[in-house]
Copies of this chain bind each other. A is one copy, B any other.
Amino acid sequence: MTTKRIPVIEKILSANDRVAAGNRARLDAAGVYAVNFIASPGAGKTALVEQTVHGLSGRFRIGVIDGDIATSLDAERAEAAGAISLQINTGGECHLEAVMVQAGLEQLPLEQIDLLIVENVGNLICPAEFELGTHDTVLVASIPEGADKPYKYPGTYRGVDALVINKIDLLPYVPFDMDYFRRGVEVLNPDVVSFPLSCRTGEGVSTWLEWIAAQVEAKAKAR
């Protein structure tokens, strides 16, 4: 009796994933470490961009691609903080897609950038489904959102490489069960690194900056 091997095609790249792979190759060729920030509206993605640019612009050259349905408010904040920034208005789309980032990469002087932050549209669901070609995805959670979010948005929590838990300065003023939150994260994504911090007060930000600086340096060495 012979066993016939059935060929299994594990993953056919979607059109988006093909463009994302091209973005990744382009970033790698330029020695740029790129990270995708995703979060609910108002969790503090832009504040984290500002803290990161303030904290690291002496060491690295930083670019920011800001995705929003409308306005250039976020890109203006990133620019004011000292980054080379670019706004993408999706015109209603609830997430960035790789082709939008591709268009952004064509506009940016990649050879002059070490760290590229892509700030996605504020949405805890849809952005998680679209690869952009960045090296890591960082989820920015925030204390006033409540501790049940890992349970209610499992797909998003499962897929991220790092977790920032922002607005810890509000812990005295809102009910938030950190143990319950962490248990939910642990089940979905046991290896994720997490950074409780407050972009407003600066508490905990230095640990985050050390982590992202290490990623940028590793990418530069690997070139």
**What is A's interface to B at a CB cutoff of 8 Å?**
40-42, 68-71, 73-74, 92, 94, 121-126, 142, 144-146, 148-149, 151-155, 167, 169-170, 173-175, 200
Contacts and interface: CB of A to CB of B under 8 A. Distances in A.
> In the complex this chain forms, how many copies of it are found?
2
Q: Which 10 A-B pairs have the closest CB atoms?
A: A42-B145, A94-B125, A144-B144, A40-B41, A42-B146, A41-B124, A40-B40, A71-B151, A94-B126, A70-B154
B125 A144 contact: no
B123 A68 contact: no
Contacts of A175: 200
Q: Give the most central of A42, A71, A175: most B CB within 10 Å.
A: A42
A142 B40 CA distance: 12
Contacts of A40: 40-42, 122, 124
B154 A73 contact: no
Contacts of A153: 41, 69-70, 122
B152 A41 contact: yes
Contacts of A149: 41-42
Contacts of A125: 69, 94, 121, 123, 126
